[in-house]
Amino acid sequence: MMNDKIVTRYKGNPILTKDNVPYPVATVHNAGVVKYQNKYIMLFRSHLLNGRSIIGIARSDDGYNFKVKPEPFLVPSSVSKFGEYEEYSVEDLRISKIDTDFLLTYSAYSRHGVRIGLAKTKDFETVEKIALITQADSRNVVIFPEKIKGQYVRLDRPHSEISKWSIWISYSLDLVHWGNSKLLIKPEPYHWDEMKIGPGATPIKTDKGWLNIYHGVFNTMSGAVYRLGVALHDLNDPSIIIGVSDQWILQPEDPWEITGYVSNVVFTCGAVQEDNGSVKIYWGGADTVMCVGEANINKLVSLCINNPRKPL
Ligand code: BMA
């Protein structure tokens, strides 16, 4: 199967760039996206002109044409318990809807390393920071969009010098204290995701399992290449991996994915499941612009089941 048939890129890519942002930024990328009141809400990362990142907000009726609000949505706190740990940046936010709350997880950077911040909103007008929910160094946390057996569940990506960057799972009763962690998927040696992997979009519920669209990195003589892949987790126990697709589903190919702030990057923080069996996958191109493409969910699921590689 040809890789370029799995995700059909939108012809109007890139769908959002720095020119669409009414305040000075260098990039628009790595956005969490969700549907709320029949609109698509995009919470995107931008590098400011000092190289640090904040989160902006854009809305759309169709998932392709977005309009950015004049004020940023989430910026580093300068006071409170958050100030110490997000002094440098807030980055790569994911959105997970549970009941009437939208849970927002983002990377918080400071001189002490990178941790995950949790914030909540009900309406994307006001936002409340709740807690820092990991130690350093951890990035790319996505919370499953429903409680499973009475617990909140998240995919984690702690960083360790000994074991390569891998996908873990943890559990919580109150969203603040997490534990019972377990390693689920590791980079596969001499494979497109051999250098590191991390959770990408918020998992999507299908009748065959939770679909996890993740990113994988391969190092080359001209630097790292970021691609997207898929894994399927058991519905009732997402620590059970049904399959990890051997092949990637998306790689940098368009000019704005190949060249930019960081070249050769497609990186996702959000995907929206549609009623017709498709999913809109949103990705940052070269850490510079936002793009979207569509894939058939059954096709992604069957890649995980029919052509898997070893998870660990
Ligand atoms: C990762 C993160 C992402 C970024 C990617 C490519 O480590 O910093 O935010 O998109 O690198 O630069």
pLDDT tens across 154-176, in order?
A: 999 999 889 899 999 999 999 99
pLDDT-derived band at 3, boundaries 50, 70, 90: very low
Return the pLDDT at 293.
Answer: 98
- Quickly count helices (H) and strands (E) in the chain: 3, 22
Return the pLDDT at 5.
Answer: 82
Whether pLDDT at 254 is above 50: yes
Q: For 7-19, what is the mean pLDDT?
A: 98
Whether pLDDT at 104 is above 70: yes
Q: Model pTM?
A: 0.97
Return the pLDDT at 160.
Answer: 85
pLDDT per residue as tens digits for the range 180-193: 999 999 999 999 99
Candidates 23, 57, 22; CA nearest to 40 is 57
Question: Is residue 6 within 8 Å of residue 295, measured between CB atoms?
Answer: yes
Q: For 266-282, what is the mean pLDDT?
A: 98
Q: Where are the domains of the chain?
A: 3-309
The closest residue, in CA terms, to atom 9 on ligand 1 is: 92
- Rounded to the nearest angstrom, the distance between the alpha carbon of 24 and the centre of ligand 1 is 21
- Rounded to the nearest angstrom, the distance between the alpha carbon of 286 and the centre of ligand 1 is 9
DSSP 110-156: ETTEEEEEEEEESSSSS-EEEEE-S-SSEEEEEE-SS-BTTBEEEEE
Mean pLDDT score across all residues of the chain: 97
Q: What percent of the chain has pLDDT over 90?
A: 96
Return the pLDDT at 79.
Answer: 82
Give the three-class secondary structure for 18: helix
Q: What is the CB < 6 Å shell around ligand 1?
A: 30, 91-92, 226, 262, 265, 267, 284, 287
Mutation to probe ligand 1, out of 88, 262, 269, 288 (largest number of atoms < 8 A from CB)? 262
Atom of ligand 1 minimally distant from the CA of 261: 12
pLDDT per residue as tens digits for the range 17-47: 999 999 999 999 999 999 999 999 999 999 9
Domain 3-309 has CATH 2.115.10.20: yes
Whether pLDDT at 127 is above 50: yes
The closest residue, in CA terms, to atom 2 on ligand 1 is: 92
The closest residue, in CA terms, to atom 12 on ligand 1 is: 262
Return the pLDDT at 144.
Answer: 98
What is d(CA 10, CA 202) in angstroms, rounded to the nearest whole number?
21
Atom of ligand 1 minimally distant from the CA of 284: 10
Mutation to probe ligand 1, out of 267, 282, 283, 291 (largest number of atoms < 8 A from CB)? 267
Candidates 84, 125, 73; CA nearest to 108 is 84
Task: Name the helix (H) or strand (E) containing 267.
Answer: strand 266-273
Neighbours of 246 (CB within 10 A): 16
Candidates 97, 78, 182, 80; CA nearest to 131 is 80
pLDDT per residue as tens digits for the range 182-240: 999 999 999 999 999 999 999 999 999 999 999 999 999 999 999 999 999 999 999 99
Counting beta carbons within 10 angstroms of the beta carbon of residue 210, is it exposed (0 to 12), middle (13 to 18) or buried (19 or more)?
A: buried
Whether pLDDT at 1 is above 50: no
Return the pLDDT at 51.
Answer: 97
Return the pLDDT at 81.
Answer: 85
Return the pLDDT at 80.
Answer: 80
What is d(CA 52, CA 262) in angstroms, rounded to the nearest whole number?
15
pLDDT-derived band at 2, boundaries 50, 70, 90: very low
Mutation to probe ligand 1, out of 138, 165, 226, 291 (largest number of atoms < 8 A from CB)? 226
Atom of ligand 1 minimally distant from the CA of 29: 10
Atom of ligand 1 minimally distant from the CA of 267: 10
